[in-house]
Chains A and B, each alone.
Chain A
Amino acid sequence: MSDPVFGRLDWRVTPFDDFWRNPTANEAVASGAALVVILGAVAVAWFLTSRRLWRPLWRDWLTSADHKKIGIMYVVLAGVMFLRAVAEGFVMRTHQVTALDGGFLSPDHFAQLFSTHGTIMIFFVATPLITGLINFVVPLQIGARDMAFPVMNQVSLGLTAAGAGLVMISLVVGQFGTGGWTMYPPYTGATFSPGPGVDYWIWAIGISGIGSTLSGINFAVTIYKMRAPGVRFLRMPMFTWTALTTAIMMVYAFPPLTVSNAMLALDRYLDFHFFTNDLGGNMMHYANIFWMFGHPEVYIVVLPAYGVFSEISSTFAAKRLYGYNSLVIATLAIAVISFCVWLHHFFTMGQGASVNAAFGIATMIIAVPTGVKVYDWLATLYEGRIRMSVPIIYLTGFFILFVFGGLTGVILANPTLDYQVHNSQFLVAHFHNVLIPGTLFGVFAGIHYWFPKAFGFRLDERLARRAAYLWFAGFCLAFLPLYWLGLMGMPRRAASYENAAFESVMWLTFAGAVIVLAALGTMIWTFVASARNRAALACPIGDPWDGRSLEWATAAPAPEWNFAATPEVEALDPFTIEKAEGEPYQPAECYEDIEVPRNTAMGVVIGGLTGVMGFALVWWMWWLAALALAGVVAAIVARAFVTDTHQRIGADELRQAHRDFLDRVAATEPVNRDLEMTSRNRGRADPEAPA
């Protein structure tokens, strides 16, 4: 029986309580992590209070419907979660070097660590990073003023943050599930995992999944309906193409996750029998539905990274993107094929050989369009005048490592080989080897590339390079040895092992983990040092890299309205053409009044209430859950009655602002590529080559 008010929540659910009763190293780690969460929250609150930042935070950020700010908030959210998930990875590695016949963590705690690590990295790091980049970049690239549905955009962020919040709270109140990031039943059913851990996962993923679906709809409509005149489909920058593809995939891939999630919830809460052992449940069906989402998700997070690589290879080689059409076709092909391969995540489940063969072949086929892309980027760089800037360093790392990871993917795509290495460290090595050099390096490159556009100053090149090299080295050392471990037979998710031969390799990967920590530290330091030195790094004109697409034609940071007048586009790389023809930065012929959405608290309200609802459901506080849900409905209905949703910005104000900007441009000395990294680069490029 659970309490009518507090459900199954009581004072004994925190890790501190366990530490008090049983002070072991294991409990110390758990309590330490919980303490970090609490102290972190307190420190942020103290910082905001002492600097009097609550009001600006609320007014300029949390209630803003500006796509640029929402995009930045997504990236910040992902960054915070990234810190936690990397720390967890480090703790796991530390445990594993001591895990010969034991280790200092309990198996249960270790299982929680790999479950949260995976959950966070996929749902609260990779996905929001990608969503953030798309949010920030796409409207600028297509010459739009904002997303198609700015308020819904805010709500998406709110839902994602609510999910992330639930995962964070699980560190302090109760425990997280131990079923891995996929939470396969029947182990995660009510019979074997009665505690609140799996429920934390269910509601965190369920809530943020709905946010991602809404994001997908928003991006798709924006790209379909809001392009500036002349931006035809085959004139869209490659990043926008990948964003469109990812958006469509989000729309179709997240529903399966919602369904498998809801069914697992029904099993756990209402005693349904979808995935139970008894009474006609079929737990294999969970794997089937989950991976209908899970596989496309891989491409959801990697395609926009491909888009970033397309943009930077072309910009930093100062050449038109090679094989634009083939890249578009390859992107779309990957998207469609990625919906035909989900079975390769459970080759060993027990279906017939012909089923396995069909999905294995489909999986191998994906390597073809991906290969096309790699060759296109190489050809773009070929004979270009390349600047080895930070994004290109990440691209180089990607070339080397991702091709390697992709090849091991083709190995795993063969069912007979998969039978040998599935569920081993080989697999762990493989997916880290595609997701880190693919998604993470891509996003890092994108962040360095667009950072000046977002904040008006460049990142410190020397520090950023060091971080990039450290990432490369750390990754190689931390993950490549796992291939070897896997072939030696070490299973994944193993809390301890008996084969002494594993230990020395584990020490190698531990060294890699230390370097990854150093890379992360250097990266954070890059942001801090650059922010301190922002006067010298400033590039207010907004074109520090001699960019090619529309987003570089506006100031940095971009004004609220993005473009004073709607740009007109006649070809791919419009800004490069303008610069080559010698007529960039022209005043518009006419300026029109525009409407921008007013600030609203919808995102905060809905995100907050759904977060409360999730927490209440985890702890069986039914009244609170019902109340929060009623609040969500009431907020949506009330919103329908609000008419005053937009504010008008007059044409005169726009004309004046644009004129001021053009004056500043005229007063700024253009810099050529060789001086790009010096403090003389104020964001006005001196193009040297014809388009």
Chain B
Amino acid sequence: MSENVHPGINLGASHGEAHHGSERTAFGFWIFLMSDLVIFGILFATYVVMRPNLAGGPGPSELYDLKSIAKQTGLLLASSFTFGLVSLSMKYGSRTGAVAFWLVITAALGTGFLYLEIKDFARMAGDGGIPQRSGFLSSLWALVGLHGLHLVAGLAWIGVMLALITARGLSDAVKSRLLLLGLYWHFLDLIWIGIFSVVFLGGMA
């Protein structure tokens, strides 16, 4: 079995220096993610507090489209899985082509998620569900929107990593950064579980 130097995805013994070099950064990135988690946690709490404050505006039953949410969930879960394949093809084989291929697939799935999400938001805005309408809508847009922004940042990061892979190949630094990106991507999936459970399913139940 390969020894693990830090939580999350590891490179394993066959990568020696990159494996141990990533220890510090990965741990630091975990701490960062936990800090980010607190941000989301407070936004969740705010949503729960603000949930009754409709101020006469539209509420969950008029705004949420669970079918679209289900599709988004499927896409994001699939992208989390394909990022697992990025990690695997980096760990076993280190073939640049395979890593880049699965990165592109992941980005495509993420873009699909984002497309559906933006469509949802546009439709909600069309139905009068703009964040300026009520405290409830403010908290909804802030929470789901922040997750969306994280996803945009993730996609940009994938783009930078593809450029780095093209320029450098799979160097130690690149591998170590891909590990962080993997943690980030799975983390976004975890947050989304909270969002569809608390916000959308909780709001419609």
A: which residues have CB within 8 A of B? 148-149, 213, 216-218, 220-221, 224-226, 251-252, 254-256, 258-259, 262-263, 266, 270-274, 278-282, 285, 289, 292, 637, 640-641, 643
Q: Smallest CB-CB separation from B35: which chain A residue?
A: A251
Q: Smallest CB-CB separation from A251: which chain B residue?
A: B35
CB distance from A262 to the nearest CB of B (A): 8
**Inter-subunit contact B27/A256 (CB<8 Å):** no
**Inter-subunit contact B142/A266 (CB<8 Å):** yes
B134 proximal to A (CB < 8 A)? yes
14 contacts between A and B (CB under 8 A): A148-B24, A213-B35, A217-B35, A252-B34, A255-B39, A259-B42, A259-B43, A263-B142, A272-B132, A273-B131, A274-B142, A280-B55, A281-B53, A640-B164
B205 proximal to A (CB < 8 A)? no
**Inter-subunit contact A641/B164 (CB<8 Å):** yes
Contact with B49, one of A225, A256, A285 (Cβ below 8 angstroms): A285
Complex: how many Å from CA A220 to CA B24? Answer: 11
Contact with A292, one of B31, B42, B138 (Cβ below 8 angstroms): B42
CB distance from A682 to the nearest CB of B (A): 38
CB distance from A504 to the nearest CB of B (A): 47
Contact with B138, one of A221, A226, A256, A273 (Cβ below 8 angstroms): A273
8 A Cβ contacts from B129-176 to A: 131-139, 141-142, 160, 164, 167-168, 171, 173
**Inter-subunit contact A259/B39 (CB<8 Å):** yes
With A255-B35, A274-B46 as contacts: A281 and B135 at CB distance below 8 Å? yes
B122 proximal to A (CB < 8 A)? no
Q: Smallest CB-CB separation from A248: which chain B residue?
A: B31
CB distance from A467 to the nearest CB of B (A): 38
Complex: how many Å from CA A605 to CA B83? Answer: 33
**Inter-subunit contact A272/B142 (CB<8 Å):** yes
8 A Cβ contacts from B28-46 to A: 28, 31-32, 34-36, 38-39, 42-43, 46
B54 proximal to A (CB < 8 A)? yes
**Inter-subunit contact B138/A272 (CB<8 Å):** yes
- Residues in chain A near residue B160, CB distance under 8 A: 637, 640
Q: Smallest CB-CB separation from A276: which chain B residue?
A: B135
CB distance from A159 to the nearest CB of B (A): 15
- Residues in chain A near residue B35, CB distance under 8 A: 213, 216-217, 251-252, 254-255
- Residues in chain B near residue A226, CB distance under 8 A: 24
B50 proximal to A (CB < 8 A)? yes
* Interface residue SS majority, chain B: helix
CB distance from A600 to the nearest CB of B (A): 16
CB distance from A268 to the nearest CB of B (A): 12
B117 proximal to A (CB < 8 A)? no
B15 proximal to A (CB < 8 A)? no
Complex: how many Å from CA A217 to CA B4? Answer: 21
**Inter-subunit contact B24/A221 (CB<8 Å):** yes
B177 proximal to A (CB < 8 A)? yes
The 4 closest A-B pairs by CB, nearest first: A280-B53, A280-B135, A280-B55, A255-B38
Complex: how many Å from CA A270 to CA B130? Answer: 11
Complex: how many Å from CA A337 to CA B49? Answer: 24
- Residues in chain A near residue B25, CB distance under 8 A: 149
Complex: how many Å from CA A634 to CA B137? Answer: 33
Contact with B133, one of A258, A266, A279 (Cβ below 8 angstroms): A279
Mark interface residues in B113-138 (1 if CB within 8 Å of A CB, else 0).
00000000000000000011111111
- Residues in chain A near residue B42, CB distance under 8 A: 255-256, 259, 289, 292
**Inter-subunit contact A279/B39 (CB<8 Å):** no
Q: Smallest CB-CB separation from A217: which chain B residue?
A: B31
Q: Smallest CB-CB separation from A285: which chain B residue?
A: B49
Q: Smallest CB-CB separation from A642: which chain B residue?
A: B173
Starting from the known contacts A272-B138, A279-B135, 19 additional A-B residue pairs (CB-CB under 8 Å) come to: A148-B28, A149-B25, A149-B28, A213-B35, A216-B31, A217-B32, A220-B28, A251-B35, A255-B35, A256-B42, A259-B43, A270-B132, A274-B50, A274-B138, A279-B57, A280-B57, A280-B138, A282-B53, A640-B177
8 A Cβ contacts from B82-138 to A: 131-138
Q: Smallest CB-CB separation from B133: which chain A residue?
A: A279
- Residues in chain B near residue A641, CB distance under 8 A: 164, 167
B189 proximal to A (CB < 8 A)? no
Complex: how many Å from CA A302 to CA B32? Answer: 23
- Residues in chain B near residue A213, CB distance under 8 A: 35
CB distance from A609 to the nearest CB of B (A): 18
